[in-house]
């Protein structure tokens, strides 16, 4: 079995960020690889840049030799090369993509002019479809050649996906492909059904025999923003929050029909929020489109894991989930995990709790001093774990550097996700530990109260330190661990709730 994840548009990229952290934390059901690709015309999108950064860091340090039988870094990610498929080309507008000049005087040209305003036709698509699914669906249909019924699409990213899935199926595996995007914006709304059709057509016989199953995480509206000042967006096409619900309604009607008529997806997960978070920063796209992580992204990433862990014959057409208290999110509101390696159902609190402690312990105990220790500027006797495991590790190695970048990104993500839900409390972690997004102002005194509702599992920083310094038994599982990986494994094990 292999897992495939296709992120579509900015919302897809945000879900991908949550999924990266979940895979590093060992929330996936087994040790199979996760193949990831991305679809976005706005290649400079801030959300994409952020999730790509975490993913690329993970891609490097996931190879640290941590030994066996640990959920930590268990799911290895493999990124498509090139990672992002851009359905438009640089500096092209809708007119260019649709070859409007060639059909200008023909009836189809007249129809085209009636369907799209001049602004929609002539706006450059470098920053995506700007919340207009009508533009996105036209571009996607053109690029994917839906009109001829070929459903073919060129590009190395697609060839990569196709080859991987074919290889999997040949070896008798089931390829589980999960697509994610918003259905109220531009790229996701246009891309989800189109990409699903391409995949269905490409792997037609495999889909019939359930060798390839396709799932989708549909992101429904969960945020809103005020209309920008007229002079700010003069002459531009941009996303308008007031259209989100109308777009969503139309999309849901479409998917309702699609379930009956063409069975695009083996399983669909719809996730949104009845209370819309207000975003103060308006952006038409590109690097300035960088929205904070949100619990909705996290839910969709968990939906992907649910899709990967559910037996094929038990996949549901549509799934829904809710949270118990109207004014709070708690650990019990998230779905359970299935660990196929141990045939157990670890709860998310246990697995994420240990991982969160592991990251915070690294940030509080190791990161501030590692460089200085390696340079010999601080005496090693003060840090027994350094003398025992890290003295010979190069602190400037890509593995260490990328892990250090990653842990900071993880804390920023966690801080945003647990802080940014309007009118509801995120009762998951004690937010007081993060006195700023900058990890250098973390409060180590909060460690023993870090995981909310985890009284039996919370561990003080002092306890983590002791466990890390105590003699470790030469267990079989860590025998082959070495270097930085061995240290990370021991730190992770030291953060276990016992």
Q: By the criterion CB under 8 A, which residues form the site for another protein?
A: 364-366, 368-369, 379-384, 387-389, 391, 444-445, 447, 460-462, 465-466, 469-472
156 vs 372 by CB, closer to another protein? 372
**C-alpha torsion angle, residues 441, 446, 449, 451 (rounded to 10):** 10
Kindly state the smallest distance separating residue 248's Cβ from another protein, in Å.
47
**Tokens 């899935």 — which residue?**
165
77 vs 356 by CB, closer to another protein? 356
The answer to whether residues 8 and 144 touch, using CB atoms and an 8 Å cutoff, is: no
**Tokens 């246990």 — which residue?**
350
Nearest to 49 by CA among 10, 90, 80: 10
In b/e form, how buried is each residue of 112-146, taking b as 16+ CB within 10 angstroms?
A: beeebeeebbebebbbbbbbbbbbbbbbbbbbbeb
Q: Three-state SS across 429-461? A: ECHHHECCCCHHHECHHHHHHCECCCCCCCCCH
Residues 6 or more apart whose CB falls under 8 angstroms from that of 31 comprise: 74, 75, 76, 341
169 vs 464 by CB, closer to another protein? 464
**341 upstream amide cis, omega within 30 of 0:** no
108 vs 441 by CB, closer to another protein? 441
The answer to whether residues 181 and 10 touch, using CB atoms and an 8 Å cutoff, is: no
Kindly state the smallest distance separating residue 374's Cβ from another protein, in Å.
14
78 vs 369 by CB, closer to another protein? 369
14 vs 367 by CB, closer to another protein? 367
Kindly state the smallest distance separating residue 498's Cβ from another protein, in Å.
11
The answer to whether residues 458 and 450 touch, using CB atoms and an 8 Å cutoff, is: yes
What count of other Cβ atoms lies within 10 Å of the Cβ of residue 171? 8
Nearest to 181 by CA among 116, 131, 226: 131
Cα distance between residue 299 and residue 237, in whole Å: 30
331 vs 487 by CB, closer to another protein? 487
321 vs 380 by CB, closer to another protein? 380
Kindly state the smallest distance separating residue 488's Cβ from another protein, in Å.
15
**Tokens 């009956």 — which residue?**
260
Whole-number Cα distances in Å, 425 to 255, 299, 328, 422 = 32, 16, 4, 8
- Longest Cα–Cα distance in the chain: 82
Nearest to 468 by CA among 362, 395, 373: 362
Nearest to 25 by CA among 78, 79, 75, 77: 75
184 vs 383 by CB, closer to another protein? 383
321 vs 369 by CB, closer to another protein? 369
The half-sphere exposure of 4 on its side-chain side, counting CA atoms within 13 A, is 29
Kindly state the smallest distance separating residue 394's Cβ from another protein, in Å.
18
Residue-wise DSSP of 320-361: ----SSTTEEEGGGSPPP-BTTTTB---HHHHHHHHHHHHHH
Kindly state the smallest distance separating residue 380's Cβ from another protein, in Å.
7
Kindly state the smallest distance separating residue 383's Cβ from another protein, in Å.
7
Kindly state the smallest distance separating residue 167's Cβ from another protein, in Å.
41
Kindly state the smallest distance separating residue 481's Cβ from another protein, in Å.
11
295 vs 366 by CB, closer to another protein? 366
Kindly state the smallest distance separating residue 364's Cβ from another protein, in Å.
6
Kindly state the smallest distance separating residue 477's Cβ from another protein, in Å.
15
State both tokens at 111.
């129809």
43 vs 366 by CB, closer to another protein? 366
Kindly state the smallest distance separating residue 472's Cβ from another protein, in Å.
7
Residue-wise DSSP of 244-298: HHHHHHHHHHHHHHHHHHT---SEEEEE--SSPEEE----SSGGG--PPP-HHHH
SS3 99: coil
Kindly state the smallest distance separating residue 478's Cβ from another protein, in Å.
11
82 vs 384 by CB, closer to another protein? 384
SS3 166: helix
């Amino acid at each position: 079995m292999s897992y495939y994840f296709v992120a579509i548009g900015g919302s897809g990229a945000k879900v991908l960020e949550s999924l990266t952290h979940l895979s590093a934390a060992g929330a996936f059901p087994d040790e199979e690889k996760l193949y990831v690709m991305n679809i976005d015309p706005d290649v400079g999108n801030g959300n994409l840049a952020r999730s790509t950064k975490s993913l690329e860091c993970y891609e490097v340090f996931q190879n640290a030799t941590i030994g066996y039988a640990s959920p930590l870094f268990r799911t290895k990610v493999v990124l498509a090369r090139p990672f992002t498929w851009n359905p438009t080309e640089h500096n092209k507008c809708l007119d260019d993509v649709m070859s409007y000049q060639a059909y200008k005087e023909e009836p189809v040209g007249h129809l085209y002019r009636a369907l799209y305003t001049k602004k929609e036709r002539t706006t450059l698509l470098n920053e995506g479809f700007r919340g207009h699914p009508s533009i996105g669906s036209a571009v996607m249909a053109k690029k994917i050649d839906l009109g001829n019924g070929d459903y073919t699409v060129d590009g190395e990213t697609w060839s990569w996906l196709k080859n991987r899935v074919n290889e999997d199926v040949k070896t008798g595996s089931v390829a589980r492909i999960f697509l994610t995007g918003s259905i109220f914006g531009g790229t996701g709304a246009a891309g989800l059904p189109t990409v699903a059709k391409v995949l269905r057509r490409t792997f037609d016989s495999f889909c019939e025999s359930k060798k390839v199953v396709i799932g989708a995480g549909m992101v429904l509206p969960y945020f809103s923003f005020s209309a920008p000042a007229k002079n700010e967006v003069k002459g531009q096409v941009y996303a308008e929050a007031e259209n989100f619900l109308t777009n969503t309604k139309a999309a849901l009607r479409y998917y309702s029909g699609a379930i009956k008529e063409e069975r695009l997806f083996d399983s669909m997960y719809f996730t949104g929020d009845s209370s819309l978070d207000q975003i103060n920063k308006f952006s038409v796209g590109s690097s300035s489109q960088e929205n904070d992580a949100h619990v909705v992204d996290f839910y969709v990433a968990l939906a992907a894991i649910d899709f990967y862990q559910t037996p094929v014959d038990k996949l549901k057409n549509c799934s829904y989930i809710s949270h118990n208290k109207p004014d709070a999110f708690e650990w019990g509101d998230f779905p359970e995990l299935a660990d196929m390696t141990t045939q157990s159902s670890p709860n998310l609190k246990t697995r994420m709790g240990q991982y969160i402690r592991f990251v915070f312990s690294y940030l509080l105990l190791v990161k501030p001093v590692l460089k200085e220790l390696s340079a010999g500027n601080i005496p090693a006797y003060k840090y027994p774990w350094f003398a025992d495991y890290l003295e010979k590790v190069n602190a400037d190695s890509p593995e260490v550097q990328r892990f250090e970048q990653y842990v900071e990104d993880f804390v920023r993500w966690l801080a945003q996700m647990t802080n940014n839900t309007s009118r509801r409390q995120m009762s998951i972690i004690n937010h007081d530990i993060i006195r700023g997004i900058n990890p250098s102002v973390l409060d180590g005194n909060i460690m023993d109260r870090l995981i909310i509702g985890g009284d039996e599992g919370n561990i003080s920083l002092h306890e983590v330190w002791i466990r890390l310094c105590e003699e470790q038994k030469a267990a079989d599982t860590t025998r082959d661990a070495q270097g930085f990986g061995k240290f990370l494994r021991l730190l992770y094990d030291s953060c276990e709730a016992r």
